[in-house]
Structure 1
Amino acid sequence: MRISEVSAQTGIAPRLLRYYEEQGLLVPDRNSSGYRDYTATDAEVARRIRQLLDAGLSTAAIRTVLPCLTERAGRLAPICEETIADLKREQVRIEKSIQALTVSRNAIAGVISAGAPGRTSSQSGATG
């Protein structure tokens, strides 16, 4: 499959697919002409990379985690056991980010609510 086909199938721009390759995250075969030759597995890996990036993981973290997303004979690769502690730390970091964003969202909602049409200055606590 050519890069344009993978892009259409996954919704990931060709330049991002090339970037994933530059980062060592995606390793498509090359045909005799030097063109990338993607498989269905490559397309699935690209989707996983996108999901992990969207979740906030760095490409370095993804490079470590990616092999762990594929089970072999019902067991994770040995390197994955070493990665669990790193993943737990990343999970804590993401949870803290979610909490901080929730606080910010609630503060913004409060400001919006306080300024909603129909509120009088006595309702908003302002004195005149």
Structure 2
Amino acid sequence: MRIGELSKRTGVSIRMLRYYEEQRLLSATRTSGGYRDYTEDAVERVGRIRCLLDSALPTAVVRTVLASLCGGAEAERPLLGVLERELAGLDERMGRLARSRAHLAGLIEDVRVRTRG
């Protein structure tokens, strides 16, 4: 199938599909006319890519996960360790955001108190 059809079937823009290919998350063969030609499996793979990216994983980790799940030769590290490190990093970022939010909420309350009186 051509890129336009894959886009319609997955709801992912053509530009984003090209980006996935650039990041080696998705691959296509080329027709004699130079058009991308995707297999039927690409629909499911794009769904997996979207799910993994929605989980806040960087494309390099998504590539590792896909390689591990799909049995590719690119899997270099144990998948569990990679995902655990990503989760720890996400927890750390969430902690920093929670502290920033608490500071901002405190500042807002201080301003409210000053403007009341």
TM-score normalized by the length of structure 2? 0.72
Q: Using a 3 Å threshold, how does the CA distance of structure 1 residues 110 and 10 change in structure 2: closer, same or farther?
A: farther
State how far apart, in whole Å, the 1-side matches of 2:12 and 2:90 are.
24
* Alignment partner of 1:66 is 2:66: yes
Shift of 1:90: 1.3
* Alignment partner of 1:111 is 2:107: yes
Shift of 1:118: 9.3
What residue ranges of structure 2 are gaps of 5+ in the alignment? Answer: none
What residue ranges of structure 1 are gaps of 5+ in the alignment? Answer: 73-78, 122-128
Q: Using a 3 Å threshold, how does the CA distance of structure 1 residues 94 and 113 change in structure 2: closer, same or farther?
A: same
Match of 1:47 in 2: 47
Match of 2:18 in 1: 18
Q: Using a 3 Å threshold, how does the CA distance of structure 1 residues 4 and 98 change in structure 2: closer, same or farther?
A: same
State how far apart, in whole Å, the 2-side matches of 1:116 and 1:10 are.
47
* Greater mean alpha carbon deviation, residues 100-109 or residues 13-22: 100-109
* Alignment partner of 1:7 is 2:11: no
Match of 1:27 in 2: 27
Match of 1:125 in 2: none
RMSD: 3.0
Deviations 1:39-81 (A, max 9, x none): 44312322322333343322222211113345x8xxxxxx598
Q: If each structure's helix is expressed as a fraction of its own residues, which one has the higher value? A: 2
Q: Using a 3 Å threshold, how does the CA distance of structure 1 residues 45 and 113 change in structure 2: closer, same or farther?
A: farther
Match of 1:91 in 2: 87
- Count of aligned pairs between the two proteins: 115
Shift of 1:14: 1.2
Match of 2:96 in 1: 100
* Percent of pairs with identical residues: 43
Shift of 1:23: 1.9
**Residue pair 1:65, 1:80 contacting (<8 A) in 2 also:** no
